[in-house]
Amino acid sequence: MTDKQKRAAYKLVYGKEFDDPDRKQAPLPLDIAYATALHQIEKRLEYLRGEIIAERISYGEIAELQGLADYIEPGDNLLLEWAGVPEGTK
Residue 63 lies in a domain: yes
Residue 71 lies in a domain: yes
What's the one-letter identity of residue 8? A
What domain count does the chain have?
1
Residue 90 lies in a domain: no
pLDDT tier, 51 (very low <50, low <70, confident <90, very high otherwise): very high
Residue 52 lies in a domain: yes
**For the ranges 3-7, 25-29, 57-61, which has the lowest average pLDDT?**
25-29
Domain that holds residue 34: 3-13+27-82
34: left (phi over 0), alpha (psi -120 to 50) or beta: alpha
> Angle at Cα 17 formed by Cα 14 and Cα 22, nearest 5°?
100
pTM above 0.95, yes or no: no
Q: Three-state SS for 25? A: coil
